[in-house]
Amino acid sequence: MLGARVQLKGWQQAAVAFGSAFGALLDPRRADLIATLGEITGKPAFERVLQRMKNSAEGREVLLERPRVISSQVSHAWDMPQNTFGAAYAQFMRSRNFSPDDRPPVRFMDTDELAYVATRAREVHDFWHVLFGLPTNLIGETALKVIEFEQMFLPMCMLSVVGGSARFSEKQRTLFVQHYFPWAAKAGLKCTDLISVYYEEHFHEDLEEVRRNWGILPCPSPKKSSV
């Protein structure tokens, strides 16, 4: 079940967006504020994503069945054989002590359908970490935001890239500009329309095979280790 929707007038949306942006700037760890800002500023982009999903056979299946990346629906990934996409996802979550249930609910979309699309975009984030082989540190998250922007054109993704870059050390910034950003810019354009993929139906498949099928270009190891 999706979170309860909140209907806002134009000036209210602007006020919420400003408050969320200011709060997130003061404390970048506030995932709820970042998510709210993404919803308020991303409605036109989510509408385009919805149309793309409707134009895809697999995307239409996702919209029809509305799978959720929550413990009760993806726990079978933990039982998948080694080298499968599902096993790689389970290992990713287990090694970081992450839970699929930790993401804040979508609240500011105008329709149930758009709310689901925004929820889906939020919940497949960790699948993309696994597929692209990106760490969950600041530099890895910022690189993934480049790919997310190229895939969905959400303004918040680009704002996150700018915000993340501003928090880099000099060494991290050099590594990002010379290694991660060029790779992410290429990878985001090379792969399939990832928001339309029904990931849960591919848990049993070999990780490298799904990467090939979806045109995924995993992140190569940088010549110099990140900090």
Residues at the annotated binding site for Zn(2+)?
A: 125-126, 129, 141
Length of the chain: 227
**Residue 14 and residue 19: Cα distance in Å, rounded?**
9
Burial 73-89 (b: 16+ CB within 10 A, else e): ebeebeebeeebbbbbb
Identify the residue whose tokens are 């082989």.
133
In DSSP notation, 14-80 reads HHHHHHHHHHHHH-TT-HHHHHHHHHHH-HHHHHHHHHHHHTSHHHHHHHHH----SHHHHGGGGGS
**Residue 141 and residue 179: Cα distance in Å, rounded?**
14
Q: Where are the alpha helices (DSSP H) in 68-215?
A: 71-74, 85-95, 112-123, 125-132, 138-152, 155-166, 170-175, 181-190, 207-213
Q: Which residues are annotated as a binding site?
A: 125-126, 129, 141
**Residue 49 and residue 183: Cα distance in Å, rounded?**
23
